[in-house]
């Protein structure tokens, strides 16, 4: 097979040696959907493909996808701190702590002031204990917790320690609060949103979420997924 020099507008990939692909995950896609799309695009190469850090279906933003030998480094990429932007809606809770499920309870918010919101955000900074949502991808006895939750089964989840480096309120438009958060791996922003309402003696849920950074990598340098797939196919055509 003869290698042909790619044009200036093309990207050179070496999937076997390992590629780290930065993808801007689309809304409603699971992280596994993205991995599957990339894996199918590099066929017939039979290579490992994985991602570093799950994003929920209703979240968008930076997803690191690794191929070939670089999949061995996924754990180290996943261990990096993350940054997110998004919004919390006050006055209502959902079982999943986000918009994946319907509102199950409403609460008054008339007593909440802007200063209370700012103080509540500040109270979460540092090392905290949080409970992952029942609708999450963690495993108990080999089964994803969300699978149990969707069957209506009771799920006992242990709390875990995470670190909130910063919790910045960027805008308040009641009932919505817009934020930017920097945190350690394993932090559930949905749980943070749920607990945020409790601190304010109300209820709340996560209404939007976008991962903007993972370690030193930014979503500003990420591929649109469909554009990435087109580029991969173009690359395959050039070198065949």
The catalytic residues are: 56
Handedness of CA 43, 47, 51, 55 (dihedral sign): positive
CA 21, CA 164: separation in Å to the nearest integer?
Answer: 27
Query: What DSSP letter does each residue of 106-131 carry, written as one string?
Result: E---TT--HHHHHHHHHHT-EEEEEP
Question: Three-state DSSP class for 203?
Answer: coil
- Are 88 and 37 a contacting pair, CB within 8 Å? no
Burial class of residue 8 (count of CB atoms within 10 Å of its CB; 0-12, 13-18, 19+): exposed
Buried b or exposed e, range 19-46, using 16+ CB within 10 angstroms: bebbbbbeeebebeebbebbbebbeeee
């Amino acid at each position: 097979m003869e290698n042909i020099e790619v044009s200036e507008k093309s990207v050179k990939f070496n999937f076997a040696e390992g590629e780290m692909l930065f993808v801007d995950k689309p809304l409603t896609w699971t992280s596994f959907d993205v991995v599957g799309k990339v894996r199918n695009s590099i066929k017939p190469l039979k290579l490992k493909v994985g991602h570093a850090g799950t994003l929920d279906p209703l979240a968008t933003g930076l997803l690191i996808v690794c191929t070939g030998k670089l999949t061995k480094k996924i754990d180290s990429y996943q261990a990096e701190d993350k940054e997110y932007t998004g919004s919390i809606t006050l006055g209502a809770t959902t079982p999943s702590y986000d918009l994946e499920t319907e509102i199950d309870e409403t609460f008054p918010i008339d007593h909440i002031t802007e200063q209370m919101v700012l103080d509540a955000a500040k109270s979460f900074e540092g090392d905290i204990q949080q409970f992952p949502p029942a609708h999450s991808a963690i495993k108990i006895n080999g089964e994803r917790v969300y699978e149990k939750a969707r069957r209506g089964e009771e799920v006992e989840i242990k709390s875990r320690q995470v670190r909130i480096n910063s919790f910045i309120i960027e805008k308040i438009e009641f009932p919505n609060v817009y934020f930017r958060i920097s945190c350690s791996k394993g932090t559930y922003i949905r749980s943070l949103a749920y607990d945020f309402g409790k601190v304010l003696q109300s209820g709340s849920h996560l209404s939007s979420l976008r991962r903007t950074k993972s370690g030193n990598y930014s979503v500003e340098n990420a591929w649109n997924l469909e554009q990435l797939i087109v580029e991969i196919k173009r690359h395959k055509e050039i070198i065949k």
